[in-house]
Copies of this chain bind each other. A is one copy, B any other.
Amino acid sequence: MIPQPTPANTTCEFCNSPGGAVLWQDDLCRVVRVDEPDYPGFCRVILKRHAREMSDLDDTEREGLMRVVFALENAVRSAMHPHKMNLASLGNMTPHVHWHVIPRFEDDRHYPGPIWAVPKRDANVPEPRRAAAAKIVANLLETLGAK
């Protein structure tokens, strides 16, 4: 089934702004870099049309979106070799389907807690980690192709 266009929600942040620097996109979704200095490599996959829950998508959309989420996980891992990957679709603040894809390191600000928990330590991001994050976009293009 071909997803039908959905009118943008006029009050929705992700209907009205890209939500970060766009690294890749197709008709279904975009991958953006999250502006979070403590977490280089933190990206989001944002569905283009307005939908609230993953279970509101049809199978084609859901499979297409998850293909991008997992390709992004792979691209981040190849670029940064994190200790662990974290994936989450929450949307309590912005109820428009999006996925957080976050590389985690044992010395990061919240490890082993989720990044939304109380910090365990001050942020102290090694410079090579920021440099490595810059490789994500090339890895992603290699897997998903240019659009």
**A interface residue numbers (CB < 8 A to B):** 52-55, 62-63, 66, 70, 73-74, 77, 84-93, 95, 104, 111-114, 116-118
Whether B90 lies near A86 (C-beta < 8 A) is yes
Give 28 A-B contacts (CB < 8 Å), ordered by A residue: A53-B77, A53-B85, A54-B73, A55-B70, A55-B74, A55-B77, A55-B85, A62-B66, A62-B70, A63-B63, A66-B66, A84-B90, A86-B89, A86-B90, A87-B88, A87-B89, A87-B90, A88-B88, A88-B90, A88-B114, A92-B104, A92-B112, A92-B113, A93-B112, A114-B116, A116-B116, A117-B117, A118-B118
Contacts of A90 in B (CB 8 A): 84, 86-88, 114
- Of the candidates B62, B85, B88, B104, the one whose C-beta lies within 8 Å of that of A86 is B88
Docked Cα-Cα span, A55 to B73, in Å, equals 7
> In the assembly, how many copies of this chain are there?
2
Distance from A111 Cβ to chain B, minimum over Cβ atoms (Å): 6
Contacts of A63 in B (CB 8 A): 63
On whether A95 and B87 interact (CB within 8 A), knowing A114-B114, A116-B114, the answer reads: no
Closest to A118 in B: B118
Contacts of A87 in B (CB 8 A): 54, 88-90
Whether B88 lies near A73 (C-beta < 8 A) is no
